Amino acid sequence: MKNFVFVGFLLLINIYNVLGQCTGSIHGHVYKKKGKVSLANVVAQIPSINLETISNEQGEFLFEGICEGSYFLRVFKDDFDTLWINAKITNKTLHFHQDIFLETPQEALEGIEVLQKKDAPISSQTQYYLSNAELEASRGKTLGEMLKNIAGVNSLNTGGGISKPMIHGLHSQRVLILNNGVRQEGQQWGEEHAPEIDPFASEQVAVIKGAAGVRYGSDAMGGVVVLNPKPLTTSSKLSGKAYLIGHSNGRMGNLAFQMQKAFGKGWAWNFQTSTKKAGDFHTPTYILSNTGMQEFNFSGTLGYTKENWNIQGYFSRFDSEIGILRASHTGNINDLALSISRPQPWYVAPFTYNINNPRQRIVHYLGKINSEIKLDHIGVLSFQYAFQDNSRREYDIRRGGRSNMPALSLVLQSHNLEAVLEHHAWRNFRGSFGINTLYQTNYNVPETGIVPLLPNFTNFTQGIFWVERFIKPKYDLEWGVRYDYRHTQVRTFIQNRTYIKPNYQFNFITGTIGYSYFPNDSFTFKTNIGATFRPPHTAELFSQGLHLGIGNIQEGLLFENGFLNSQKDFSIEQSYKWVASLTYKHKNWTLDVHPYYNIINNFIYLTPTDIRLTIRGTFPVFNYVQDNITMQGIDITSIYKIGKWGWQSKFAYLKAHVQASKDALINMPPLRWENKFFFEQKKWKSLENVEIFATLLHISKQSNAPRVISPTVFENITSEEQTTILAGGNFDFMEAPNGYTILGVGLQASYKNFTFSSRVENATNLVYRDYLNRWRYYANDLGRNYIFQLNYKF
């Protein structure tokens, strides 16, 4: 009967056609939102004129002979949410077309929970998100500390204020931070250089633990930290959030707020700012003098969205000043020896908010403009241009009134240009092509009166990539390839003040292959192998200097016996990383098991090569050298709930060694096991989302650490002793600190628009040192810390 009516209408339309009245058409291409695969047998109706059709095998449907006017289309299929679409046929636009994405109710729910989970750039790698609760609870902390919520992620700390994210033991130039879609370009090479990012600006924080070099280039070999702000709102009502946070340790205060609004036709803006002030932090028994910090950051977006394209401009400024523990500023190895022997640092003063030398002052600007164009039948084309200006000044304790002059003053400017085409499914294939260009200059501001640690350089990188997936309902196959060209020019002086401008060119190919299997709703298996090649950073090639605080001389790959040879041979680092993730969800239990195996050939790392007598004393010399290494480990996350009670457990273990010598690598994360026990009550009197919890974090002693050579042996060292020390490979000046277990407790509740939480960290005020804290030679780690947090949403 229905068909009869339909045929009747067609006849009617044909008549109109003959009369030359109605020649418009409405064409749709229906995709499944998840996977962007074409959907056949989707019903499309125009109820007002009683038309109905279904999509063909390619997911397309067509109504012809439509008169001018405005129509509402209803598009639906079993198991998917029904969609209404407005189509206008005018004499100018007779042929209406739209790509239509249907989603299942389940997907829609997930989307609400953590904004919209974006597709991982490489789908066979799991993107691990911080849950909303974890994100909110770690507000006010450094990015590195925040990311520790994800198993397998650690941070390499320099005291309480500087922390670098570490994924599976790799950090700095081997981990990419993607801030609002832009690769963060700062002075990542320094172990005491934290990422110049305001964590308050991110509403979505995720980590990719696999090698994503294919999509982002060489520095994504160890993984990617993905930070995204809230997407622009479509609501014309002003909304936002405010935070007030206080920490007892360091008497730290945070104030942050964020707001957004849509206006006009398709316009929207958002703005966010945060400020932080902390004084000296303290251990259970003494003050860590000169460890205060302050920050003031802001960012804003203005965007314009039309049906088929959008454009956004973004600007942010990050400004931070961080004090460096006074007692960690050492002149030579004897100072280090004395520091290790002392029960507490030699300099302990009463609490103050003042930040004195040594200190760091960092200002980072990011400006970007990006646009997306939806191309019917093809996919989405996006462009992005980003500019970053990073200024880092480090102040030391100096003689002759020079303390106001920075000892290091670097300006790094980076331009990034990217164009990516993400194509919709064609048969069972889906993927993206793209190019990205990076141009950067590193410049030493001549205000230091010190020979720079890192020379001036310019760096140009051009990359082109292609990632493609073959999608089936129960499995995906994925492969990708990337080609990079890099040109680096360094401008520096060699020993006798001769000016040199060596050039280096690199051509390298990166590849990935992956497989995902999802037989049912409760089980997912993903595995991926990524090959990433990375040319050495200029710092790894050219840096030379005395490392205050670590008591050694560090020299780049191009140094031979203390002399620079810019023609010296070196190799590109080649990493092969295999990751797998098995996720199992059953009723109250979620389990994620994530093993990995990473081989890095020509891995660049510091190892002792000489012992050198200078006017400042005797120093071990650590050179960057290259060796093949192996890293293997496993991360496990489990969440189990019974009624209102829950237990969350995160375990991570890594073992790393140099292949030939079997030597351990320094600063590799020890075994970490974190447990959280919680009780949740959705509603209690007028309070909502009441939660009480306790956390127990266990860090084992790093048993796989390099041998220990006490710094005292260097003072009157004989040449035989020197030979013995140097023959034995890598060493550390101090034994790895003992393992420890710390307890935390807390509670949280919401009342109307307010959320209040209160926590105690290191509740037992345990005295401990952490292997991944570079101040472990000088001082104990942080003592008990009470945190109070108040959020207001409007």
Partner 1 sequence: MKMKSFNKLTMFLLAGTLFLGACKKDDPAPVNEQEVITKVTVNFTNTANSSEVVTFTYEDTDGVGGNAPVINNGILKRNTSYNVSVIVTGEDNEDITAEIAEEKDEHQIYFGFSQSNLFSSFEYSDKDSKNQPVGLASRVTTVNSSGGGDLQLILAHEPNKSLNIASTPWVYDSKIGGEQDFNITFKANIQ
**Among the candidate windows 232-240, 280-288, 329-337, 633-641, which touches partner 1 by CB under 8 A?**
329-337
Query: Please, which residue, 104 or 437, has the CB nearer to partner 1?
Result: 437
Residues 641-680 that bind partner 1 (CB under 8 A): none
| 546 near partner 1 (CB under 8 A) | yes
Query: Which one of 329, 655, 698, 701 is in contact with partner 1 (CB under 8 A)?
Result: 329
Query: Please, which residue, 33 or 329, has the CB nearer to partner 1?
Result: 329
From residue 644, alpha-carbon distances to 458, 647, 677, 678, 690 in Å are: 57, 10, 11, 8, 10
Cα separation, 326 vs 345, whole angstroms = 9
Nearest to 637 by CA among 67, 149, 104: 149
| 20 near partner 1 (CB under 8 A) | no
Query: Please, which residue, 67 or 94, has the CB nearer to partner 1?
Result: 94
Instruction: Evaluate whether 103 touches 75 at the Cβ level (below 8 Å).
Output: no
| 264 near partner 1 (CB under 8 A) | no
**Among the candidate windows 19-27, 112-120, 284-292, 546-554, which touches partner 1 by CB under 8 A?**
546-554
Query: Please, which residue, 620 or 744, has the CB nearer to partner 1?
Result: 620
**Among the candidate windows 10-18, 31-39, 440-448, 759-767, which touches partner 1 by CB under 8 A?**
440-448
Nearest to 412 by CA among 437, 439, 441, 385: 441
Cα separation, 405 vs 403, whole angstroms = 5
Query: Which one of 450, 634, 734, 747 is in contact with partner 1 (CB under 8 A)?
Result: 450
**Among the candidate windows 105-113, 304-312, 701-709, 736-744, which touches partner 1 by CB under 8 A?**
304-312
Query: Which one of 2, 237, 399, 474 is in contact with partner 1 (CB under 8 A)?
Result: 399
Query: Please, which residue, 140 or 434, has the CB nearer to partner 1?
Result: 434
Q: How far is the CB of 111 from partner 1 (least distance, A)?
A: 28
Query: Please, which residue, 104 or 489, has the CB nearer to partner 1?
Result: 489
Instruction: Evaluate whether 536 touches 559 at the Cβ level (below 8 Å).
Output: no
| Amino acid making up residue 335 | D
Nearest to 158 by CA among 782, 773, 778: 773
| 473 near partner 1 (CB under 8 A) | no
Site string for partner 1, 589-628 (x = CB under 8 A): -----------------------xxxxxx-x---------
| 373 near partner 1 (CB under 8 A) | yes
**Among the candidate windows 3-11, 307-315, 645-653, 682-690, which touches partner 1 by CB under 8 A?**
307-315
| H-run or E-run covering 113 | helix 105-113
- How many other C-beta atoms can be found within 10 angstroms of the C-beta atom of residue 278? 24
**Among the candidate windows 147-155, 292-300, 308-316, 507-515, which touches partner 1 by CB under 8 A?**
308-316
Residues 453-472 that bind partner 1 (CB under 8 A): 456, 458
Query: Which one of 23, 53, 131, 308 is in contact with partner 1 (CB under 8 A)?
Result: 308
| 710 near partner 1 (CB under 8 A) | no
| 286 near partner 1 (CB under 8 A) | no
Cα separation, 413 vs 98, whole angstroms = 41
| 330 near partner 1 (CB under 8 A) | yes
Give the DSSP per-residue string, 730-773: -EESSPPPPPEEEEEEEEEEEETTEEEEEEEESTT------TTB
What 3-state DSSP class applies to 220?
Answer: helix
| 105 near partner 1 (CB under 8 A) | no
Torsion of CA 277, 282, 287, 289, to 10 degrees: -40
Backbone angles phi, psi at 346, to 5 degrees: -70, -25
Query: Please, which residue, 265 or 497, has the CB nearer to partner 1?
Result: 497
Calculate the CA 178 to chain-centre distance: 5
| 444 near partner 1 (CB under 8 A) | yes
- How many other C-beta atoms can be found within 10 angstroms of the C-beta atom of residue 447? 10
Query: Which one of 295, 335, 476, 478 is in contact with partner 1 (CB under 8 A)?
Result: 335
Helix locations, 71-129, DSSP H: 105-113
Q: How far is the CB of 223 from partner 1 (least distance, A)?
A: 29
From residue 474, alpha-carbon distances to 431, 448, 470 in Å are: 18, 61, 11
Q: How far is the CB of 458 from partner 1 (least distance, A)?
A: 7
- How many other C-beta atoms can be found within 10 angstroms of the C-beta atom of residue 780? 23
**Among the candidate windows 37-45, 146-154, 240-248, 398-406, which touches partner 1 by CB under 8 A?**
398-406
Nearest to 631 by CA among 593, 605, 592: 605
**Among the candidate windows 452-460, 655-663, 664-672, 761-769, which touches partner 1 by CB under 8 A?**
452-460
Looking up tokens 């670098």, which residue turns up?
164
Query: Which one of 451, 509, 708, 767 is in contact with partner 1 (CB under 8 A)?
Result: 451
Q: Which 8-state DSSP code applies to residue 628? A: E
Query: Please, which residue, 80 or 619, has the CB nearer to partner 1?
Result: 619
Cα separation, 323 vs 353, whole angstroms = 10
What 3-state DSSP class applies to 408?
Answer: strand
Cα separation, 525 vs 520, whole angstroms = 11
| H-run or E-run covering 360 | strand 359-375
Query: Please, which residue, 491 or 655, has the CB nearer to partner 1?
Result: 491
Q: Say if strands 176-179 and 224-228 run parallel, antiparallel, or are unpaired.
A: parallel
What 3-state DSSP class applies to 615?
Answer: coil
Nearest to 47 by CA among 76, 18, 15: 76
| H-run or E-run covering 440 | strand 429-444
Written as six digits, the tokens of 410 are 């670097």
Query: Please, which residue, 171 or 359, has the CB nearer to partner 1?
Result: 359
Q: How far is the CB of 332 from partner 1 (least distance, A)?
A: 5
| 553 near partner 1 (CB under 8 A) | yes
Q: How far is the CB of 316 from partner 1 (least distance, A)?
A: 18
Q: Which residues contact 8 (CB under 8 A, 6 or more apart)?
A: none
Query: Please, which residue, 64 or 372, has the CB nearer to partner 1?
Result: 372
Q: Total number of residues binding partner 1 (CB under 8 A)?
A: 66
| 331 near partner 1 (CB under 8 A) | yes
| 491 near partner 1 (CB under 8 A) | yes
Q: How far is the CB of 202 from partner 1 (least distance, A)?
A: 25
| H-run or E-run covering 625 | strand 617-642
Instruction: Evaluate whether 548 touches 499 at the Cβ level (below 8 Å).
Output: no
Backbone angles phi, psi at 540, to 5 degrees: -75, -20
What 3-state DSSP class applies to 153?
Answer: strand
| 371 near partner 1 (CB under 8 A) | yes
State the Rg of the chain over Cα.
29
Q: Which residues contact 610 (CB under 8 A, 6 or more apart)?
A: 561, 562, 620, 621, 623, 726
Query: Which one of 257, 383, 426, 740 is in contact with partner 1 (CB under 8 A)?
Result: 383
Query: Please, which residue, 69 or 266, has the CB nearer to partner 1?
Result: 266
Longest dimension (CA), the chain: 107
| 452 near partner 1 (CB under 8 A) | yes
Q: How far is the CB of 565 from partner 1 (least distance, A)?
A: 11
| 698 near partner 1 (CB under 8 A) | no
| 763 near partner 1 (CB under 8 A) | no
| 708 near partner 1 (CB under 8 A) | no
| 246 near partner 1 (CB under 8 A) | no
Query: Which one of 106, 341, 503, 628 is in contact with partner 1 (CB under 8 A)?
Result: 341
Residues that bind partner 1 (CB under 8 A): 308-309, 311, 327, 329-332, 334-335, 338, 341-342, 346-347, 369, 371, 373, 383, 385, 387, 397-400, 402, 413, 415, 417, 437, 439, 441, 443-444, 446, 448-452, 456, 458, 491-493, 495, 497, 499, 501, 544-546, 548, 553, 559, 561-563, 612-617, 619, 716
